[in-house]
Amino acid sequence: GAGVSQSPRYKVAKRGQDVALRCDPISGHVSLFWYQQALGQGPEFLTYFQNEAQLDKSGLPSDRFFAERPEGSVSTLKIQRTQQEDSAVYLCASSLERTGELFFGEGSRLTVL
């Protein structure tokens, strides 16, 4: 596709449920980032992939958060045993190179009840 595609756009989960958020980056983009954006805040870094290698996961808030990009294209962010504080918009961005322009998806808005 022409841009970064994320699904689902909206997800409502009960506390304790597991969720999976998908990101389909722009074809050929080596770098893929996940960010978390809470209401009224800027995007906060979660994790970074270069192709299939997860080179930085320093921003993942707990071991309930897990991300993968097994074939170097589509990525999935999984949150286990969701908590209310996980409610946020999860943004995926891809880039041709590590420090270039980021192309963002529209985000997945997660609401945990």
Residue type, 20: A
Contacts of other proteins in 46-65 (CB under 8 A) = 48, 55-56, 58-59
- DSSP notation for 50-65: ETTEEEE-TT--STTE
Residue closer to other proteins, measured from CB, 37 or 73: 37
Q: Which residue's structure tokens are 């389909």?
A: 24
Residue closer to other proteins, measured from CB, 60 or 82: 60
Distances (CA, A) of 95 to 25, 28, 51, 61: 9, 9, 11, 23
Residue closer to other proteins, measured from CB, 3 or 16: 3
Q: At a CB cut-off of 8 Å and minimum separation 6, what does 32 contact?
A: 23, 25, 48, 49, 69, 75, 92, 93, 94, 95
Site track for other proteins across 69-98, x = CB under 8 A: ----------------------x-x----x
Note whether 66 binds other proteins by CB under 8 A. no
Residue closer to other proteins, measured from CB, 80 or 102: 102
Binding site for other proteins (CB under 8 A): 3-4, 33, 35, 40-45, 48, 55-56, 58-59, 91, 93, 98-102, 104-107
